[in-house]
Amino acid sequence: MPSKSKTPYIQMHIAVFLWGFTAILGKLISISSLSLVFWRMCLAAIGFMLIPYTWKSFRSLSVKKTSVIMGIGIIICIHWICFYYSIKVANSSSLALACLGTGPLFTLWLEKLFVKNKQIHFLEIFISILSIIGIIFIAFGSSSEALDWTSNYLIAVFFGVLASALAAIFSLMNKHLTDGVTPYTISMLEMTAGALFLSIVLWKMNLWIPIEEIDFNDKIYLLLLSIFCTNIPFLLSVFAIKKLEAFIVTLSVNLEPIYGFIFAAILFKEYNQFSIYFFIGTFIILSSVFLTPWIHKSKATE
């Protein structure tokens, strides 16, 4: 039995491990990225609705606060659409995960807009430069396609980086605009808003797929994605974050792409799709990802 002091670390790493399957399931699910995200958010919303704590702070929410949270949910929805489209257009979860690693670049500079009088540290500029260099290497990383601005590979890079930028936006908005609301309620509202938004989009575009027309395997994968990659890791991370330092949490979350790369290599052998430039770029981006929490820790002690 692990000691009580180790429990939060175990919870956090289980959560990150489960998040690592998100990209894998996105590749396995055969329906479009729009339908995939709709069903993920719909099923995840139902899961959060079944948790009693969700409704405690919901009753005290103002209309304004509810609208803000649901607006963030739509940004999360678009983020997931971009992420899964990146996976599907290039048929590669590794490429989308590598692009998602540019998150620190966007977070560092967007924080300047949210936090008044925030000073930009020299090392933050260094990390930004590393991320840009890394993504340039990745852009040349296809083993089968020449550098062509209309190629599926570069389209996947574009949407992967866009997903990363949107992730930075909604993370900062959640941090600064949703104080005083339980995470359960926030997540339920965000998932519900995304599902409602996409239901309108799918209906207007005549792309609605009834549940009975979805392949049985896709239904199983969607349930796994919604429960084991959304509801369960979220709850584990909520309990762990309460007892862990922000530095440890950030460092743990940064392991997600590592797990994703390992799973993709084992299940799909995706490493055969890339040239040496992809691996150099990925190494550079992951280096910047893991440097970020160390820089924040050093700034806090200055």
Identify whether 1 is part of a domain.
Answer: no
Domain of residue 84, residue span: 7-300
From first to last of its 302 residues, the chain has per-residue pLDDT tens of 344 557 888 888 899 999 999 999 999 999 999 999 999 999 999 999 998 888 887 888 889 889 999 999 999 999 999 999 999 999 999 999 999 888 878 877 787 776 666 666 677 778 788 888 988 899 888 776 655 666 888 999 999 999 999 988 888 887 777 667 888 888 899 999 999 999 999 999 998 888 888 999 999 999 999 999 999 998 888 778 777 776 677 677 778 888 888 898 889 888 888 889 999 999 988 887 777 666 666 655 55
pLDDT of residue 6: 77
Q: What is the largest CA-CA distance in the chain?
A: 59
Query: Dihedrals φ, ψ of 142, to 5°?
Result: -75, 135
Which letter, b or e, does each residue of 192-205 get, where b requires 16 or more Cβ atoms within 10 Å of its Cβ?
Answer: bbbbbbbeebbeee
Residue type, 117: N
* Rg, the chain, Cα only: 19
Number of domains forming the structure of the chain = 1
pLDDT of residue 129: 84
Identify whether 225 is part of a domain.
Answer: yes
Identify whether 276 is part of a domain.
Answer: yes
pLDDT of residue 31: 95
Identify whether 2 is part of a domain.
Answer: no
d(C-alpha 179, C-alpha 114), whole Å = 14
Lookup: tokens for 268: 């799909």
Identify whether 138 is part of a domain.
Answer: yes
Identify whether 40 is part of a domain.
Answer: yes
CB 224 within 8 A of CB 54: no
CB 289 within 8 A of CB 104: yes
